[in-house]
Amino acid sequence: AWPKPVATPIAAQIENVLTNAHGGLLTFGVGLAIYFSSSGVESLRIGLNRAYDELEVRAWWLLRLESIGYVLVGAAALIALSFLVVGATGGLDRLVANVPWLAPIEKSFTFGRYVIATVVLIIALALVHKWLPAGRRRLVDVMPGIGVTLLLWILTGVGFGRYIARFAGNYVSTYAGLASAMVALVFLYWTAAIFVYGGELNNAIRRARHERVKREATSS
């Protein structure tokens, strides 16, 4: 669902990791990967705590263990979902090759993959906004920010993809071999800013609601 100029280089690196044999420091490398991934979760926690004006009082080691848990559960869920989608896609390709009149179903299945990706994003955003930062929020309180985040992510993906298609040469002339990495970093920066904005929006709505209730109580 990402713009092709962003997704292609990252996909190539992932394919390289998955298809090439690696030995020796496997256990050590997995440990580092989990730790650095949990640091990414911690950065999301910090951003949401600031967006929701929450003060974190839990022990740092407890938060780190929680972040590692998020990484492990999220990785397991994504691996299972990937096998499900990829396996179904491969099976459908073979079926269409043998039964050509089923080709229209393939387009519906492609649309279904985007629906699955959207549902996964909504669930992930709901869990992160509700449980990751300090304090507790109702699901209805975080849905406006989630909806705006998804909408802006889609618009950013489409707009950034068109921008790169027209001005990719500027990145190549400026960053040379690092152009692909810079394109990905700029795109991820925008998606991160939109993510934090979703939390800020939820907090602004919550403050406005509280102020309205306070005014009504005062006037009555």
Tens digits of residue pLDDT in 132-150: 999 989 999 999 999 999 9
Q: How far is CA 21 from CA 9, 12, 28, 86, in A?
A: 20, 15, 16, 21
pLDDT value of residue 29: 75
Taken in order 98, 104, 106, 112, is the CA torsion positive or negative? negative
Query: Tens digit of pLDDT for each residue in 82-107?
Result: 666 665 655 666 666 676 665 666 56
pLDDT of residue 44: 93
Regions in the chain scoring below 70 on pLDDT:
1, 18, 21-27, 82-97, 99-110, 168-169, 171-173, 175, 177
Structural contact between residues 81 and 116, judged by C-beta atoms closer than 8 angstroms: yes
Token readout for 204 is: 């602004």
pLDDT number for residue 132? 92
What's the N-to-C CA distance of the chain in angstroms? 51
d(CA 155, CA 174): 26
CA–CA gap between residue 186 and residue 171 (Å, rounded): 11
Return the pLDDT at 13: 78
- Which residues are CB-neighbours of 65 under 8 A, at least 6 positions away? none
Residue of 77, 98, 79 lying closest to 87 (CA atoms) = 79
Are 153 and 194 a contacting pair, CB within 8 Å? yes
Q: What is the pLDDT of residue 180?
A: 78
